[in-house]
Amino acid sequence: MRFFPLALSAAALAVAIVPVAPAQAAALPVIQITKIYYNSPGSPDNGANVSLNGEWAQLKNTTRKAINLRGWTLRDKTKAADHVYMFGAFTLGAGKTVTVRTGKGKDTATTRHWGRAGGTFAYIWNQTSDAGFVRDPLGKLVDSCSYNSSRVAWVDCR
Ligand SMILES: [Ca+2]
Ligand SMILES: [Ca+2]
């Protein structure tokens, strides 16, 4: 019986050193807007394709599984159909980030293009204040990021 309390202590210690899960952080949206670069490099912003592509939003798959983004949308505050970017056939790998640029260009595994053109009115992201919204194919809001500053050219939404 003499060793029984020791055994208990050892057992208690073993329990005590089992790694404890950190306090539950607020769950990340499965697709998160991580950054919006709203003030395209250069001034004034001239609406050329390279300038339109100089503004972009980054979306990240925060999960451990690839997500099929077909039908997912990204938009700003402007309530106009042409201010909605909808993903076509595109799968974003686990933990991966995709950059959605405003202008035209070749889509790749890491960069997609809104395809907008037409000069200075083609920009999506306002230079002082705006917001991005990501919705799943059912229209459910998954993440948003707003900003209100002209002091810097981008906002870190994480
Ligand atoms: Ca600029
Ligand atoms: Ca806008």
- Token output for 35: 């950054």
What is the value of pTM for the model shown? 0.84
What's the rounded mean pLDDT across residues 82-101?
98
pLDDT of residue 22: 59
What's the rounded mean pLDDT across residues 46-59?
98
* Residue 9 domain-assigned (yes or no): no
Share of the chain above pLDDT 90, in %: 81
- The pocket of ion ligand 2, defined by CB under 5 A, consists of 76, 78, 126, 130
Which structural domain range is residue 141 located in? Answer: 27-156
* Residue 152 domain-assigned (yes or no): yes
CA of 132 relative to ligand 1 center, distance in Å: 19
CA of 46 relative to ligand 1 center, distance in Å: 8
* Residue 31 domain-assigned (yes or no): yes
pLDDT in tens, 134-153: 999 999 999 999 999 988 99
Rounded Cα gap, residues 4 and 72, in angstroms: 61
* Residue 66 domain-assigned (yes or no): yes
pLDDT in tens, 7-36: 555 555 555 555 555 566 678 999 999 999
What's the rounded mean pLDDT across residues 79-107?
98
Q: What's the pLDDT band for 54 if we cut at 50, 70, 90? A: very high
Task: Give 17 or 86, the one with higher predicted confidence.
Answer: 86
Query: Which ligand has its closest atom nearest to the C-alpha of 40?
Result: 1
CA of 122 relative to ligand 1 center, distance in Å: 14
CA of 24 relative to ligand 1 center, distance in Å: 40
Using the predicted structure, report yes or no on whether residue 4 has a pLDDT greater than 90: no
Using the predicted structure, report yes or no on whether residue 90 has a pLDDT greater than 70: yes
**Whether the Cβ atoms of residue 75 and residue 126 lie closer than 8 Å to each other:** no
Rounded Cα gap, residues 102 and 75, in angstroms: 11
Instruction: Please state, rounded to an integer, the average pLDDT across all residues of the chain.
Output: 90
* Residue 4 domain-assigned (yes or no): no
Q: Which residue has the tokens 């035209």?
A: 104
* Residue 8 domain-assigned (yes or no): no
pLDDT of residue 43: 93
CA of 61 relative to ligand 1 center, distance in Å: 28
Cα dihedral across residues 77, 27, 158, 94: positive or negative: negative
Q: Which domain CATH number covers 96? A: 2.60.40.1260
CA of 152 relative to ligand 2 center, distance in Å: 16
Query: Which ligand has its closest atom nearest to the C-alpha of 123?
Result: 2
Query: Which ligand has its closest atom nearest to the C-alpha of 124?
Result: 2
Strands 111-113 and 97-101: parallel
* Residue 1 domain-assigned (yes or no): no
CA of 65 relative to ligand 2 center, distance in Å: 31
CA of 17 relative to ligand 2 center, distance in Å: 52
Of 125, 98, 127, the C-alpha closest to 113 is 98
Domain count, the chain: 1
What's the rounded mean pLDDT across residues 90-107?
98
Residues 6 or more apart whose Cβ sits within 8 Å of residue 29: 62, 134, 142, 143
pLDDT of residue 5: 53
**Whether the Cβ atoms of residue 152 and residue 140 lie closer than 8 Å to each other:** no
* Residue 20 domain-assigned (yes or no): no
